[in-house]
Amino acid sequence: MIGRLTGVLLEKQPPHIVLDVQGVGYELDAPMSTFYLLPALGERVTLHTHMVVREDAQLLYAFADKRGRELFRELIRLNGVGPKLALALMSGMDVDELVMAVQHQDVSALVRVPGVGKKTAERLLIELRDRFKAWEASPGSLPLVTGAPTTAAAKPSVDAVSALISLGYKPQEASKAVSAVDEAGLSSEELIRRALKGMV
């Protein structure tokens, strides 16, 4: 299994990443909590990965740290939670927010995530409660490359809307959320972050 990759960041179009590792381009999917920490294109980065092998595909998921990867693994062990829903959960809130929601059994925090209704949220909170007893909030995450400039996409708002749609939001809902926070000079990652917070 592939557990970690270090290479040059070639592409980042949420939730997809392409990482060049000694001439081999690895395609990975990552939650927005990891995207916020990515360096500029062309910079080197180390990502912790989880590989999913299906009959029709071999998929790699990338995380900024081992803690994020462990959370992803805990989520996909749950009945009815696949990688797509796990990424959506980890994109709507960071690891600490999700841990706190579970520890406080906060249903409202989970139902804001696309694809999670009240019954699903209640079931997830019950199933995760025992698993998260040992988890504690950690200090804030640091960028994967300190001081790396953020490369703004040609059309950050378009990229942001596309990212939200890929996370499960309806096109109209995604467009409205991005428009509400769109300001000149913001990167697509920052627009996505603000749009997700605005949907709370």
For residue range 20-76, what is the model confidence (pLDDT) as tens digits?
Answer: 999 999 999 999 889 888 999 999 999 999 999 888 888 999 999 998 998 899 889
How high is the pLDDT of residue 200? 57
Q: Token pair 């926070």 is at which residue?
A: 181
Q: Give the per-residue pLDDT at 143.
A: 43
Question: Rounded to an integer, what distance in angstroms lies between the CA atom of residue 98 and that of residue 145?
Answer: 24
Q: Does the predicted model carry a pTM greater than 0.85?
A: no
41 vs 45: CA distance, rounded Å: 10
3-state SS assignment for residue 152 = coil
Provide CB contacts within 8 A for 125, sequence distance 6+: 101, 102, 105, 106, 107, 110
Provide the pLDDT for residue 141. 42
**Mean pLDDT within 5-29:** 93
Q: Which two tokens stand for residue 187?
A: 């990167």
pLDDT in tens, 108-154: 888 888 778 888 888 888 888 877 766 654 444 444 443 333 333 34
Report the pLDDT value the prediction gives residue 11, as an integer from 0 to 100. Answer: 93
